[in-house]
Structure 1
Amino acid sequence: MMDTAPNIASAVAGKRVSFVASDTEESCAALSRLTARYGDTPTEGAEVIVALGGDGFLLETLRRLLDRGVPVFGMNCGSVGFLLNDYREDGLLERLAAAVPVTLHPLRMLARRVSGEEVAALAINEVSLLRETRQTAKLRISIDGIERLDELVCDGALVATPAGSTAYNLSAHGPIIPLEADVLALTPVSAFRPRRWRGALLPYAARIVFDVLEAGKRPVSAVADATEVRDVARVEVTADPSVALTLLFDPEHALQERIIKEQFLP
């Protein structure tokens, strides 16, 4: 789910800015140059975070700031950088003041292992279930307490947010979802039976439950972005509107526009 927050960007000018970077050589060099030029505030006292790295580092930064609610402006020092702005050193404070804010609400995964242990985690992009061995996974899928698919034989399945719909979901031939749409993508990964099932679009408030069939013979792992839980028996996925994460984008590079453009690429 996505909300725009137009008041945030106008309040960024003059705020205390903290720079954080991934551990790559390129990101560390950029960190050194930017802090020398603009100064640096400790993360704990910052009102805006500038993250230098790739999409994975940006997601990691957002997870670290869950309790802070601090807006994050990412600059790409990685490869794809779909959730990031272009790296430019000039005029950074002006860019921050003019940035377009987007507020994301993540998914909450509650995974129960075969042993009975439960693990909770948040996902900004997607929650995915994947087979652990050469054996295909067998999943039963229920939506809001109603069984919709009694057995999906597959390599896995995933639930993607609109922001995550252009990531793993797109690679699995799932739909690209505009940020303004209050829907989730439920997408199979290499479905074998039923072979023609392509997935579903679900309301953002849907409660999605995966039961792993034959979990001992066909072990499955569940992954919420970077948090992996092995040997799961049941996974519940729901949106968590109580958690708000704010990203800042250059106006000409807004996330909404990128998601639309992605659908017209050759």
Structure 2
Amino acid sequence: MIASAPPSRISFCASDRPEAGLARDRLTTLYGSVDAAEADIIVALGGDGFMLETLHANLNRGTPVYGMNRGSVGFLMNDYDEVGLPERIAAAGRAVIHPLEMEAWTESGALNTGLAINEVSLLRQTRQSAKLRISVDGKVRLEELACDGCMVATAAGSTAYNLSAHGPIIPLDARMLALTPISAFRPRRWRGALLSHRARVEFEVLEADKRPVSAVADNLEIRHVTKVAIRERRDISLTMLFDAGRSFEERVLAEQFMA
């Protein structure tokens, strides 16, 4: 990989954690900071949740985001180091991801839309299990799933909630989506499916009045949904930067061999 020229215009942003704010102030003193709208690179200081927030905030600009961990998990972040930051950014590898689009209809008939970088989840709202009918590309594939919920996850999100729900880890270049149940009760042995990234997935909520369900696209929640349609927006590209030797692909591969 040939390194690019160090960025001349960096915008630093930080989560509300005290250590993230302190890091932003120190880095701004060292390297200066411009408004995000004028930046070549955005440096996000926080955890994985803040990285997602930063990507969402820059959906329309498409400015590459380089994260440094000042949070807890940090799977999507680089190690924090104040030395030689422009050179590190210039040598970093790029991971291009595409979000999911959620269309969610509620009991009132209202249509709500949202974008998700990690996953779109359907979740039961009460003690009653959810009952969902699942269609892929217009064909019913599962007539009834009794569960706590179900999700469609991107490759980038496959190591997050999807992995916690025992879904598969997907390499970034696989062009696939994970359809993963959350605590499936019936059919008990259904473990989900791997789908083409071109697939359109539809959920119909059965007995919605008795078994209310919410739909969540990253941090956007729509309650009392009756139908949800999900597809990948290939026309929207988001770029994350990772230090040389610590690419997103390497992290995903290493995650599959962790004890």
Q: Does residue 10 of structure 1 match 2:7?
A: no
What is the rounded CA distance, in whole Å, between the counterparts of 2:223 and 2:74 in structure 1? 28
What is the rounded CA distance, in whole Å, between the counterparts of 1:163 and 1:40 in structure 2? 28
What residue identity is the alignment partner of 2:246? H
Q: Which runs of 5+ in 1 are unaligned?
A: 1-5
Q: Trace 1:39-118 onto structure 2 (pairs within 5 A).
A: 39-118=32-111
What is the rounded CA distance, in whole Å, between the counterparts of 2:25 and 2:130 in structure 1? 47
Deviation at 1:15?
A: 2.8
What is the rounded CA distance, in whole Å, between the counterparts of 1:102 and 1:264 in structure 2? 21
Q: Does residue 128 of structure 1 match 2:124?
A: no
What residue identity is the alignment partner of 2:51? L
What residue identity is the alignment partner of 1:230? R
Aligned to 1:146: 139
Deviation per CA, 1:99-148: give whole Å up to 9, x if none: 10111111000011111111100001000000000000000000000000
What residue identity is the alignment partner of 2:4? S
Q: Which runs of 5+ in 2 are unaligned?
A: none
Aligned to 1:170: 163
What is the rounded CA distance, in whole Å, between the counterparts of 2:134 and 2:74 in structure 1? 32
What is the rounded CA distance, in whole Å, between the counterparts of 2:235 and 2:177 in structure 1? 17
What is the rounded CA distance, in whole Å, between the counterparts of 2:257 and 2:103 in structure 1? 35
What is the rounded CA distance, in whole Å, between the counterparts of 2:233 and 2:181 in structure 1? 23
Aligned to 1:217: 210
Percent of matched pairs sharing the same residue: 61
What is the rounded CA distance, in whole Å, between the counterparts of 2:75 and 2:106 in structure 1? 33
Q: Trace 1:253-264 onto structure 2 (pairs within 5 A).
A: 253-264=246-257
What is the rounded CA distance, in whole Å, between the counterparts of 1:84 and 1:210 in structure 2? 33
2:175 to 173, 182, 186: 182
Aligned to 1:3: none
Aligned to 2:12: 19
Aligned to 2:23: 30
What is the rounded CA distance, in whole Å, between the counterparts of 1:73 and 1:171 in structure 2? 25
The aligned length equals 259
**Which secondary structure does the structure 1 equivalent of 2:258 belong to?**
coil
Q: Residue 7 of structure 2 contacts residue 89 of structure 2 at CA under 8 Å; is this kept in 1?
A: no
TM-score by length of 2: 0.98
What residue identity is the alignment partner of 1:222? A
1:196 to 165, 189, 211: 189
**Which secondary structure does the structure 2 equivalent of 1:31 belong to?**
helix
Aligned to 2:258: 265
**Which secondary structure does the structure 2 equivalent of 1:44 belong to?**
helix
What is the rounded CA distance, in whole Å, between the counterparts of 1:21 and 1:111 in structure 2? 31
What is the rounded CA distance, in whole Å, between the counterparts of 2:56 and 2:37 in structure 1? 14
Deviation per CA, 1:154-195: give whole Å up to 9, x if none: 000000011100000000000011111011000000000000
